[in-house]
Chain A
Amino acid sequence: MTQPLFEPFDFEKPIYTIQEKIEELMRISEETGVDFQSEIDKLSARAEAFRMNVYKNLQPKEKVQIARHPQRPSAIEVIRQLSPQTWFELHGDRAGQDDQAVVGGIIEFLDRPVMVVGTQKGRGMKENLVHNFGMPNPEGYRKAMRLFSHANKFGMPIVTLIDTPGAYPGIAAEQHGIGIAIAHNIREMARLRVPIVSIVLGEGCSGGALGIGVANEIYMLEHALYTVISPEGCASILWRSPEYAAQAAESLKITAQDLFAFEMIEGIIPEPLGGAHYDPQMTIESVRSSLLSSLTTLTQLSPEELVEQRYQKFRKIGAFEESVLTR
């Protein structure tokens, strides 16, 4: 490896500096015929130890960077790899729009048709304009709901893939009821009589994520995040400056490990060292195995059990004090 695969993040730069030194030594060794092998071995061992140390101790702000990496596997890539043979993409809200920030359709998984709905981020400006940077408008949530209802009618399990900086803050979004669209999805997803599994691929931001996130089981990729507000947004409100984003990321407890500790999610899906973008295929295979076990269990439950299990999952979330004297 001579060139980093990606523009390294600041916290990754020392890794590449050591790497460069090793390569330099190898080059000199080749040119001069002097044997530097023992130095090279030592440096390589140090480099590897350092790399492990960096990636195993990622700070929340570093995870935020990884979760937003442009080369991170997107919903469509996950869909195509999970079901290379079958992918019937379905479009539109049947009310005038096809919001491309939300993609969805029917795949085959576990030998059965499954409805997949996800928020889609683009790569590069052109794709991002099509997918609105993964920020749905109300029409996107209504499109999602239409597909959920379709799945409910035909008994298809639902998989949702979450990767969104949040619902779109725009004029038309407000005029068309972005809040109502999300609220309606939350209420109606709670009533669906088929299994629902949500996977947070990258960013799970705020109500924008919940609009497709009311699931029986939730899994997060190892470096994905789930948060009530973006760290930058939180910093500008509570610290009155976006410069405190790193501190907000820390305080908000948004990592997969945090949410697992809070018992809000069922599992963490491992990523390759450094993040999913270093090996998207392997990452998606990990997604596959989590989905396999989750759907295998959930498809055993009756429609009533599914609705009740989903209700109880969210019903128990909350931290408060209560004196027993009053009701």
Chain B
Amino acid sequence: MPLGHWFASKRNNKASLNPESVNQKLTDGDFERLWIQCYNCSERFPKKDIQENRMVCSACGYHFRINSWERIHQITDSFEELNASLRPKDPLNFTDTAPYAERIEKTEAKTNLKEAVITGIGKISDTKFALAVMDFSYMGGSMGSVVGEKITRLIETALEENLSLIIFSSSGGARMQEGTYSLMQMVKTGAALAKLHEAGLLYISVLTEPTFGGVTASYGTLGDIIIAEEGARIGFAGRRVIEQTIRQKLPADFQTANYLLKYGQVDMVVQRQQLKESLYRLIQLHQKSLTLAGPVSSRQL
């Protein structure tokens, strides 16, 4: 359940509290609201305890999927959102089993989000950085025009204000309902990152559960440092597509964070509890080096 829902249901719950209902037995619905079961070890916990533990199972360390605002809350001390008003359009007038325009309305109502990424300026202690956090609950974190545009504008802001960039990816890939408009966002964001690269600014890409397709094949993997969050599954092609193509069973750990680490595709696998500290330290180290060595223009890229 997304956090927004949880809050909403909590509010509803409070409103309906009266002396009679207090003494009633817990229904299944109440149980679900207050308790959470780990998908991995099946242990049950009061939801509050898991939330206090950054949505990580205190028994087995399983990382629950979290939404974008929860993530921002976890890794920043303060955050100022940019380009918040961007909303998707339906350039192809696309309809599959339901019209895309309808899906947009429903998703917005359900998630209380305008798109699958939130961008802005984050701060840890006195260190500012450009931050984008994708949200899988908005149409599977798919990358359409808005995601591409917001990421690109954020990169441009990082360039203007000389900031490090952090992008948390979580995406099933390009948004098919926007056809080639979504495909070309891979180039738009990639080309903007070329400018960031030439300017010698640091980009840390954090790949979280799950990151696939067009995001993996563009900004997701263009970080100077690539971090995979513990437990994330990351890849280009989906598991089912690969199985159907090669007609073999895939290893159980295929496309997991540690599998990618083993094959040299990411720099490190980091637990959620350590993420904020790691990001802060990495930015500090790179800024220190740039201060000592001078800007990148004095060296060749």
Nearest CB in chain A: distance from B208 CB, A: 15
Nearest CB in chain B: distance from A143 CB, A: 17
- Is A325 in the interface zone, CB < 8 Å from B? yes
Nearest CB in chain A: distance from B152 CB, A: 7
Query: Which residues of A lie under 8 Å from residue B152 when comparing CB positions?
Result: 315
Verify B191–A318 contact, CB threshold 8 A. no
Q: Which of A154-213 contact B (CB under 8 A)?
A: 167-171, 173-180, 182-184, 186-188, 190-191, 206-207, 210-211, 213
Query: Which residues of A lie under 8 Å from residue B96 when comparing CB positions?
Result: 238-239, 248, 251
Verify A179–B235 contact, CB threshold 8 A. yes
Q: In the docked arrangement, what's the CA distance between A169 and B235, Å? A: 10
Verify A228–B221 contact, CB threshold 8 A. no
Verify A187–B145 contact, CB threshold 8 A. no
- Is A95 in the interface zone, CB < 8 Å from B? no
Verify A227–B254 contact, CB threshold 8 A. no
Verify B246–A315 contact, CB threshold 8 A. no
Q: In the docked arrangement, what's the CA distance between A327 and B148, Å? A: 16
Interface 0/1 of B152-180, CB less than 8 Å to A: 10000000000000000000001011111
- Is B113 in the interface zone, CB < 8 Å from A? no
Nearest CB in chain A: distance from B274 CB, A: 24
Nearest B-chain residue to A208, judged by Cβ:
B217
Q: Which of B181-200 contact A (CB under 8 A)?
A: 181-188, 190-195, 197-198
Verify A187–B190 contact, CB threshold 8 A. yes
Q: Given A183-B221, A190-B190, A228-B174, are A318 and B145 also a contact pair (CB < 8 Å)?
A: yes
Verify A178–B236 contact, CB threshold 8 A. yes
Q: In the docked arrangement, what's the CA distance between A326 and B81, Å? A: 10
Verify B242–A171 contact, CB threshold 8 A. yes
Partner of A228, one of B179, B216, B246: B179
Query: Which residues of A lie under 8 Å from residue B248 when comparing CB positions?
Result: 171
Interface 0/1 of B246-268, CB less than 8 Å to A: 10101000110000000111000
Verify A170–B86 contact, CB threshold 8 A. no
How many residues of A are counted as interface, with CB atoms below 8 angstroms from the partner's CB atoms?
Answer: 60
Query: Which residues of B lie under 8 Å from residue A251 when comparing CB positions?
Result: 92, 94-96, 179
Nearest B-chain residue to A312, judged by Cβ:
B191
Nearest CB in chain B: distance from A246 CB, A: 13
Q: In the docked arrangement, what's the CA distance between A180 and B186, Å? A: 12
Partner of B265, one of A177, A262, A326: A177
Partner of A179, one of B184, B187, B188, B236: B236
Nearest CB in chain B: distance from A216 CB, A: 12
Nearest A-chain residue to B218, judged by Cβ:
A183
Partner of A322, one of B85, B197, B216, B250: B85
Nearest CB in chain B: distance from A150 CB, A: 18
- Is A253 in the interface zone, CB < 8 Å from B? yes
Q: In the docked arrangement, what's the CA distance between A213 and B218, Å? A: 13
Q: In the docked arrangement, what's the CA distance between A317 and B148, Å? A: 9
- Is B241 in the interface zone, CB < 8 Å from A? yes
Verify B88–A183 contact, CB threshold 8 A. no
Q: In the docked arrangement, what's the CA distance between A314 and B195, Å? A: 14
Query: Which residues of A lie under 8 Å from residue B97 when comparing CB positions?
Result: 238-240
Q: In the docked arrangement, what's the CA distance between A253 and B216, Å? A: 24
Partner of B182, one of A171, A228, A259: A228
Binding site for A on B (CB under 8 A): 82-92, 94-97, 145-146, 148-149, 152, 174, 176-188, 190-195, 197-198, 213-214, 216-222, 235-238, 241-242, 245-246, 248, 250, 254-255, 263-265
Q: A167-B217, A228-B214, A318-B184 are in contact. List 6 more A-B contacts (CB 8 A).
A: A174-B254, A180-B221, A183-B216, A315-B188, A318-B146, A320-B88
CB pairs A–B below 8 angstroms (13 shown)? A174-B254, A187-B193, A207-B214, A210-B217, A228-B180, A234-B176, A253-B179, A314-B191, A317-B145, A317-B181, A318-B149, A320-B146, A321-B89
List the 8 closest A-B pairs by CB distance, nearest first. A169-B237, A179-B216, A186-B190, A319-B91, A190-B191, A318-B145, A179-B236, A238-B96
